[in-house]
Copies of this chain bind each other. A is one copy, B any other.
Amino acid sequence: MKLNFAKRMSYIKASEIREILKVTEQEDVISFAGGLPAPELFPIDEINEINQIVLKEAGTKALQYTTTEGYAPLREWIANRMNERLGTAFDKDNILITHGSQQGLDLSGKVFLDEGDVVLCESPTYLAAISAFKAYGCSFIEIPTDEDGMMMDVLEEILSNTPHLKLIYAIPTFQNPTGKTWSLERRRKLAELSAKYGVAVIEDNPYGELRFGGESLPSIKSFDEAGNILCTGSFSKIFCPGFRIGWIAGDKDIIRKYVLVKQGTDLQCNTIAQMTIAEYLKRYDIDKHIAKIVEVYRKRRNVAIESIERYFPDTIKFTRPEGGLFTWIELPEGISARDVLVRSLEKKIAFVPGGSFYPNGNKENTLRINYSNMPEDKIEKGLKTLGEVVKEYISQSE
């Protein structure tokens, strides 16, 4: 007899990005497809030094099981950092260490979602958040966004008349995939609506520390009087992703639920990775390190923006992100980015078509460009070729 799988297996699909990334593993492909940080900026020597210290001074502890909640000094640092930067009022018991911020999304699904529940999200939104939540049997309602973030009038209308609403998912700073940042007013308003309608918010913030200019904004959580808002964060983009250390932060009674759920999911995160990061944060100035990353990415962003301006047709629209890893291009209506990808791959240029970032599927005329993981000359060369492909394709479609 054949095996029966869970119903969710019929709608969990391979990540289009991961599939494209496999194609682009060849050396000579210029890929704007990933979301990888620049590896030449990883603090390898410092990690090597600190790893040795941790193993020598506390090797048995670093290699043993630890608590589900995570390493206390690291949780303390995160709480303080968020309080300083994001206007929160956390202590270590507000923080659960997760296996990357991706696990924060998975655990949020587990804590909040039953089959048939509804998640609200920006349109478009982070691809792997869609996968994470979908595994719990939810559907999505996409809320349109403009330059200031989610459209609050549409959001409130949907909040007021949709049953089984459980979660609002938002990436208010340097959003993936669009690179957009929400205004202060929208942040405040979302917190207000979350309280009014009793719906939890997952405020995902993996890129917030990577600001190239402009002014930092307080988190949505900082306006949360009801205790309904959870924040995720990550060391992947400011330190290194290979350690898989992120966190979820929120009110203590909710975080305790996350801890219970994580216990059954994977017991705890990697002990030595947590201790190594905590020790690094004690011995080194991470702000100096982040400034170095920001400087490199700012230049790459600039080259990306200038190249799009120079080499793409005037009929496109695109984002000028103030930080983060991505810009977002809208091609003229009716132009399929998937078709463009087929042609650009022939010229060894890769990117992710935007369609996958819409949970209910539409807007095939969009594409995401990552600029963090490539030297400036390649960015220009790649976008020049891509711009030519786009121009050619558009002219042939007319």
The answer to whether A68 and B264 touch across the interface, beta carbons within 8 angstroms, is no
Knowing A1-B198, A196-B1, say if A63 contacts B36 (CB, 8 Å). no
A52 CB within 8 Å of chain B: yes
Task: State the Cβ distance, A310 to closest chain B Cβ, in Å.
Answer: 31
Chain B's closest residue to A256 (CB) is B14
Q: Interface with B: A111-119, A141-149, A208-216, A380-388, which one?
A: A111-119
Q: How far is the CA of A228 from the CA of B111 in the complex (A)?
A: 30
Whole-angstrom distance between the Cβ of A100 and the nearest chain B Cβ: 6
B-side contacts of A226, CB under 8 Å: 1
**Given A111-B9, A115-B115, A244-B270, A42:B14 Cβ within 8 A:** no
- Are B4 and A166 interface neighbours, CB within 8 A? yes
A61 CB contacts on chain B under 8 angstroms: 39
With A and B bound together, what is the CA distance between A341 and B110 in angstroms? 33
Q: Compute how far the CA of A132 lies from the CA of B265 in the bound complex, rounded to whole angstroms.
A: 6
A134 at the interface (CB under 8 A from B): yes
Is the C-beta of A136 less than 8 angstroms from some C-beta in chain B?
A: yes
Rounded to whole Å, the gap between the CB of A200 and the closest CB of chain B is 5
- Contact call B269/A110, Cβ cutoff below 8 A: no
- Within 8 Å of chain B (Cβ to Cβ): is A366? no
> B-facing mask of A174-212, CB < 8 A → 1, else 0?
000000000000000000000111111000000000000
Evaluate contact between A264 and B65: CB separation under 8 angstroms.
Answer: no
> Does A266 sit at the interface, judged by CB under 8 A?
yes
Taken together as a complex, chains A and B put the C-alpha atoms of A36 and B254 apart, in Å, by 28
Contact B36 A114 (CB under 8 A): no
Give the interface segment out of A43-51, A290-298, A319-327, A330-338.
A43-51
Chain B residues whose CB sits within 8 angstroms of the CB of A67 once the complex forms = 18
A67 to B112: give the CA distance in the assembly, Å: 28
User: Contact: B7 with A263, CB < 8 Å?
Assistant: no
Q: Given the interface contacts A5-B111, A99-B266, A102-B267, does A13 sit within 8 Å of B243 by beta carbon? A: no
Residue A220, interface by CB 8 Å: no
A242 interfacial contact with B, CB 8 Å: yes
A8 near B110: Cβ-Cβ < 8 Å: yes
A116-136 Cβ-contact flags toward B at 8 Å (1 or 0): 010000000000100110111
- Could you tell me the distance between the alpha carbons of A269 and B273 in the complex, rounded to whole angstroms? 12
**Min C-beta distance of A41 to chain B, whole Å:** 9
Instruction: Please name all residues of chain B whose beta carbon is closer than 8 Å to the beta carbon of A4 when the two chains form the complex.
Output: 112, 166, 198
**CB-based contact A270/B267 at 8 Å:** no
- In the complex, how many angstroms separate the beta carbon of A57 from the nearest chain B beta carbon? 11
Question: Closest Cβ of chain B: how far from A46's Cβ, in Å?
Answer: 10
The residue from B106, B111, B265 contacting A264, defined by CB atoms under 8 A apart: B106
Chain B residues, Cβ within 8 Å of A66: 242
Question: Which residues of B sit under 8 angstroms from A198, Cβ to Cβ?
Answer: 1-4
Q: Is A360 an interface residue (CB 8 A)?
A: no
Beta-carbon nearest neighbor of A244 in chain B: B270
Q: Which residues of chain A (1-54) have a CB below 8 Å from chain B?
A: 1-9, 12-15, 18, 34, 36-37, 39-40, 42, 44, 47-48, 51-52
A257 CB–B CB distance under 8 Å: yes
Task: Out of B15, B135, B242, name the residue touching A63 (CB < 8 Å).
Answer: B242
Q: Which residues of A contact B (CB under 8 A)?
A: 1-9, 12-15, 18, 34, 36-37, 39-40, 42, 44, 47-48, 51-52, 55-56, 59-68, 98-100, 102-103, 106, 110-115, 117, 128, 131-132, 134-136, 166, 195-200, 226, 228, 236, 240-244, 254, 257, 260-261, 263-273
Q: List 8 A-B contacts (CB under 8 A).
A: A1-B195, A39-B60, A47-B55, A51-B55, A63-B240, A100-B266, A106-B265, A244-B267
The 4 closest A-B pairs by CB, nearest first: A1-B198, A131-B264, A242-B271, A39-B60
